[in-house]
Structure 1
Amino acid sequence: MSSTSARPVSSASEVTTGLALMFLSVMFSPLIDIFAKLAVVTIPSAEVTAGRFFVQALCMLPIVIWRRSFADFSWRQSLFHAIRGLIITVSMISFVTTLKYMAVADAIAIFFVEPIMVTILGGIFLKETIGWRRYTACGVGFFGAMLIIQPSFQEVGYIALLPVLSALCIAIFVLMTRVLSHREDPWAMQFQMGIWGLIFCAILLFIGDGSGSDLFDPVMPEGSAWFYVAGVGAMAAIAGIFGVYAFRAAPASTLAPLQYFEIVSATIFAWLVFGDFPNAVKWLGIAIIMASGLYILWRERRFASKPVSDTSEATLAP
């Protein structure tokens, strides 16, 4: 979760197609976390993350071959891709670790401060013009996140801050992707991301072998654990593909608000699978985060400023 934005839309049918594909993307995205939460019970976080990258890259490989995207690989940018791979690895391991201790809906809701972080970092590093209204909305959004983090912090301690770290990594990842995305094929970029992520996970698992760490000490999956790990990667690939084609069919400014539906779908899936359901205070925090994020998107759209988070790879977030 690359092209910087979708091409101009020429018909209402394309917008409808884009909306339908984005809806499917946000419906499949929470399943990544459902499978990850099931897998991390018996498998270390780095191994679950490695499984995701492996299956995701494997799913992308036929598309990369069919599109002849290997020709678009920029090997001179390998260091850049490696840094992106390292950042996404840290983000995924942090989020998967969170899922071991926190409810899926709570973790995803906290993670959705990511668009707010992209807005702030874009203003600082990419010199985006960000007015006081959007900065105020960012502050309100962080307040909403604190309403979720505070009770979670009492329950699980510093683990409750890991979704914030994950969101920060994804925000940096999105900004780096934007710098490179106008020069490279989105499928090639996603494939390289998976390969580099897999390499970094392999290094961490090699170092952690025999350490007893529930983050880095590899184990041999047994029984249904194989299915859970495969499910993480498969759902990530499916959600990513739907997201890419959604952004190709319709403007990002039209699709972005739908991404917040992921919080709702995550809550439904988590309730069905684990029986988890946010309390009233957490629902208030979720509502504030969604409202602040949607306001930021509305301001960007109203003033025709290109959203700094406008990349199709953003759909690959946890």
Structure 2
Amino acid sequence: MICNQDVAKEVVLELSTDAQLTQMVSDLKGFGMIDVVRNPCKIKTDAWEQQRAQLNVPMTAARDIDQTELELIRKISFGVDEYIKDCVIVNDGRMVFANSNRSQVLVYTPEGQLSKSIHVDESPFGLAVINSDTVAVTCRKHDTINIVNIDDCVVKQKIKVGKPLNGLSHHDGKLYVLASLSGIMEFDLTGNLIRTIQVDVPDDEGYLSSYKDTFCYTCFNEFIACCDYNGREIWRLDIADSGVAVDNYGNYFCANYGSNTLQIVSADGRRKKEFQTLAEYTGIIYIEGVFFNKNCNTLLVAYNSLTAMLYRVI
């Protein structure tokens, strides 16, 4: 039995003092005097105070655009009949793609293997992450937003918009959709239209991204623009017209469909950098969707040439 082993038995320490030591101590009047001396503090606290401030008060750092680089993690391949329009990454690392040709939402494992194909309304286009098992997708043929559970492989809800739809973004419990010739339409997750933000949206495809109190959107063959939540334009450039995604600092990764270029633009629109990607040397052309994973600092880029690339942003 374990209780009979020495390691399980109670140990009691007993102290016996020498008789001569006891007699000597009893004759003492005291052991000495204790004086309290207070000297000025000489500890350097600058570094500690700075560290404490960083721990208690989150600071927003700026990404050095000039030093930003992309490192290829993996390449994802699609079937010959698939036409990918947009892409997102959910919290567990699964990648989700809008397959316009087959009216499907495709779910891939973090390792890049096809896991599920989910049927949605015709011509799916823009994607947005709602939570770890739910995405939203705009479907251009029916002017609807489909809310899709990617675990159960079902469309849980359809929001009828009634206007030509493009890019989609989810922020703070709201869905924002880029509607041709209308603006940015704001919905709650039950499908109620809250408002329409008046911005210049031509009658063609475009993508949408949101960050705090700003939107950034593109219009095919036209421009990329940034505006506030009331629609007031902050800046506009002609360098991009396809996928757009915001990083943790308000900078935007954006693509130009015709020139097949990928760039990063600063939050104020004043600085930009063009990346040299592997696609340039392998014949992979026409960038569609772009998604930045804020949790892992990775960038997913979908091309309509049956390929997507997952990059680490460094």
Into which bin does the TM-score normalised by the smaller protein fall? under 0.3
Of Structure 1 and Structure 2, which has the larger fraction of its residues in strand? 2
TM-score with structure 1 length normalisation?
0.25
Report 1 or 2 for greater relative contact order, CA contacts < 8 Å, sequence distance ≥ 6: 1
Of Structure 1 and Structure 2, which has the larger fraction of its residues in helix? 1
